Homo-oligomer: A and B are copies of this chain.
Amino acid sequence: MKKVKIYVTLRESVLDPQGSAVMGSLHKMGYGQVEDVRIGKYLELMIADGEKDIDALVNEMCHRLLTNTVIEDYRFEIEEAVSQ
């Protein structure tokens, strides 16, 4: 079993209203040293063994469903996982 960790972030050029709202709240709570907040998604996929090209599989799933590549970037890591 493989564990794939996918990090999805908004592209630099895209406004992040959710991040701005969180930063505003942090400032009101006294954390003025926080200069920027960006919020993205973190996905963990468990994939059965036997896949030949897991990189290509993950890229395909990211493009078809998991991310919006117009406004988002993604990167991923693949780890060996012990099945439970």
Contact = CB atoms under 8 A, between A and B. Distances in A.
Interface string A23-44: 0011001010111111111111
A22 to B, nearest CB: 7
B45 A36 contact: yes
A15 interface: no
Category for how many chain A residues contact B: 20 to 34
Interface of A: 1, 7-9, 19, 22, 25-26, 29, 31, 33-48, 50-51, 57, 61, 64-66
17 contacts: A1-B35, A7-B42, A19-B43, A22-B65, A22-B66, A26-B61, A29-B64, A29-B65, A31-B57, A33-B50, A33-B57, A34-B47, A36-B46, A37-B46, A38-B43, A40-B42, A40-B44
